[in-house]
Amino acid sequence: MTDETTITTGGCLCGAVRYQVSGPLRDVVNCYCSMCQKLHGSFGAHSKALKKDITLIEDRGLKWYRTSSVAQRGFCGECGSSLFWKPDALEATGILAGSLDQPTGLATLGHIFVGEKADFYEIEDTCPQFEKSSDGALIGDSL
């Protein structure tokens, strides 16, 4: 997890969306749900930050798509980059870890929804795995 004094930046492939996070980022959780597979072509590697700590620097390409009754996903309408998972009822927004500028200083916490994982790869690290959501059981998932 990054500390509260760190400013982290990120954005899409073409630059039509740029953002900064002026607070802590949660380490990465890999999500294998069928929705992430369709959106990312594989699993989704998600960090997370408090909504109040995320500032859009450039948003001309930002589009939102409601993927469920409880959340929407942010992406660039120009280049298609996946950027955010924003739940309606929580104070934090998921940030696609690949959209963060390097180096991030983040590590992988674990794997969720492994019961929906595609059959073309294996999870080979020793991080915790959860059949469905971790429901906050991963260390550092307190944002």
Q: What is the pLDDT along the chain (143 residues), one digit of tens a residue?
A: 666 678 999 999 999 999 999 999 999 999 999 999 999 999 999 999 999 999 999 999 999 999 999 999 999 999 999 999 999 999 999 999 999 999 999 999 999 999 999 999 899 999 999 999 887 777 666 66
In whole angstroms, give the CA distance from residue 41 to residue 44. 9
Residue 69 in domain = yes
In a domain, residue 71? The reply is yes
138 in any annotated domain: no
CATH number, position 45: 2.170.150.70
What pTM, to 2 d.p., does this model score? 0.90
Q: Does 128 map to a domain?
A: no
Residue 68 belongs to what domain range? 8-116
* Residue 82 domain flag: yes
Question: For position 140, what pLDDT does the model report?
Answer: 62
Q: Does a structural domain hold residue 137? A: no
The tally of domains found in the chain comes to: 1
Q: With contact defined as beta carbons under 8 Å apart, do 53 and 22 qualify?
A: yes
Q: What are phi and psi of 48, to 5 degrees?
A: -160, 145
Residue 41 burial (CB count, 10 A): 10
Q: Is residue 40 part of a domain?
A: yes
In a domain, 31, yes or no: yes
